[in-house]
């Protein structure tokens, strides 16, 4: 197994394209190294993307925020402006693993590992985030929810990788939140994860909402019915109850070692309600 650490996007694209699928991308390594150790993957080549400047750091412009795909969660969590704009996204990515994992794990890795339970993904989807994707055919922008196609599978073509994440500027009077259920307080994989982003008009009526669920289907789900339950309401108890029902109804989970179907379905509704309540409080707090 060889290791390369290209310094430019082109070099990385060429290496990956030339490997014909025999290469594996290394970003934070928190998933890859475990897979290497257990023999789950045995690539001929590991391509470390962390030396490419475009994949590192956080910047903002008129469109919003750009987060390099290989930026560690610890670094992202320390970015005050991002945390103020998208607290739900930041709290989600701060939940990925321990402090030690935070020092290494990246948003690009969390997404492209394509686990249905990845914590950052429902929050990014709810926030309407997109990926800058680089590849042999050049660069393109793809909504986050279009990347993962199934457990361990993505829509990225051979030689493609995620360069960065684009988060829009949050609308006025908006808020987002992410909640997950794990058996312990830390160190677990989400049994259910729910990201909610919503915006209110001046009267406090919800005008926009996005609700995304994790760990309840082969991919994260963007649930239009759940959003519809909030839009046009004051996010009151009745709307929240309807949201919970819609979230639960959207689940297509499996029974596995981390949870049962019945449990995931029920808790998805509970967490959707609780996350929406937090998002609402955050949106209201921005009113003044």
Interface residues toward other proteins, by CB under 8 A: 1-3, 5, 26, 28-30, 33-34, 36-38, 46, 48, 50, 72, 74, 97-101, 103-104, 181, 183-189, 191, 257-260, 262-263, 266-267, 270-271
Closest distance of CB 169 from other proteins, Å: 29
User: Which CB, 129 or 196, lies closer to other proteins?
Assistant: 196
Looking at the Cβ atoms of 85 and 181, the one nearer to other proteins is 181
What's the closest the beta carbon of residue 256 comes to other proteins, in angstroms? 8
Nearest CB to other proteins, comparing residues 228 and 270 = 270
Closer to other proteins by Cβ: residue 173 or 180: 180
Q: Is the CB of residue 126 less than 8 Å from the CB of residue 176?
A: yes
Rounded Cα gap, residues 285 and 41, in angstroms: 47
What is the nearest approach in angstroms of other proteins to the Cβ of residue 248?
12
* Nearest partner of 240 among 177, 150, 189, 182, judged by Cα: 177
Residue (73 or 227) nearer to other proteins, CB: 73
Shortest spacing between CB 144 and other proteins, in angstroms: 24
Which residues fall within 8 angstroms of residue 190, CB to CB, at 6 or more apart?
95, 117, 119, 180, 181, 182, 214, 215
Measured from the CB of residue 187, what is the shortest distance to other proteins in angstroms? 5
Which helix or strand (DSSP H or E) is residue 181 part of? strand 174-181
In whole angstroms, how close is the CB of 26 to other proteins at the nearest point? 7
Cα 271 to Cα 123: distance, rounded to the nearest angstrom: 13
Residue closer to other proteins (CB basis): 57 or 136: 57
CA distances (Å), origin 240, targets 94, 108, 232, 233, 237:
26, 32, 12, 9, 5
Looking at the Cβ atoms of 101 and 228, the one nearer to other proteins is: 101
- Reported as half-sphere exposure (CB side, CA atoms, 13 A), residue 65 has a value of 25
Nearer to other proteins, 43 or 87 (CB): 43
Q: What are phi and psi of 13, to 5 degrees?
A: -60, -45
Q: How far is the CB of 195 from other proteins (least distance, A)?
A: 17
Sole residue written with tokens 């402090």: 99
Q: Sign of torsion, CA 266 270 271 275?
A: positive
In degrees and rounded to multiples of 5, residue 58 shows phi and psi of: -125, 135
Cβ atoms < 10 Å from Cβ of 207: 16
CB of 182 to other proteins, least distance (A): 9
Angle 22-26-27 from CA coordinates, rounded to 5°:
150
């Amino acid at each position: 197994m060889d290791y390369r650490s290209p310094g430019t996007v082109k070099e990385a694209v060429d290496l990956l394209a030339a490997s014909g699928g025999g290469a594996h991308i290394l970003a934070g390594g928190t998933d890859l190294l475990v897979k290497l150790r257990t023999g789950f993957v045995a690539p001929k080549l590991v391509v470390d993307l962390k030396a490419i400047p475009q994949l590192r750091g956080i910047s903002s412009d008129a469109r919003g925020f750009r987060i390099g795909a290989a930026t560690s969660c610890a670094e992202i969590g320390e970015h005050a402006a991002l945390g103020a704009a998208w607290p739900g996204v930041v709290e989600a990515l701060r939940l990925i693993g321990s402090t030690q994992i935070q020092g290494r794990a990246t948003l690009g890795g969390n997404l492209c590992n394509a686990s249905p339970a990845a914590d950052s993904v429902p929050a990014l989807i709810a926030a309407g985030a997109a990926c800058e994707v680089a590849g042999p055919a050049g660069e393109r922008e793809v909504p986050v929810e279009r990347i993962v196609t199934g457990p361990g599978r993505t829509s990225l073509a051979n030689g493609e990788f995620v360069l960065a994440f684009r988060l829009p500027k949050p609308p006025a009077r908006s808020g987002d939140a992410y909640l997950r259920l794990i058996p312990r307080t830390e160190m677990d994989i989400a049994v259910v994860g729910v990201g909610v982003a919503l915006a209110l008009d001046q009267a406090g009526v919800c005008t926009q909402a996005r609700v995304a669920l994790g760990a309840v289907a082969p991919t994260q789900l963007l649930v239009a019915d759940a959003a519809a339950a909030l839009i046009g309401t004051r996010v009151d108890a009745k709307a929240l109850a309807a949201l919970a029902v819609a979230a639960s109804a959207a689940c297509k989970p499996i029974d596995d070692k981390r949870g049962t179907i019945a449990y995931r379905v029920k808790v998805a509704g509970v967490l959707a309600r609780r996350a929406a309540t937090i998002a609402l409080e955050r949106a209201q707090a921005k009113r003044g």
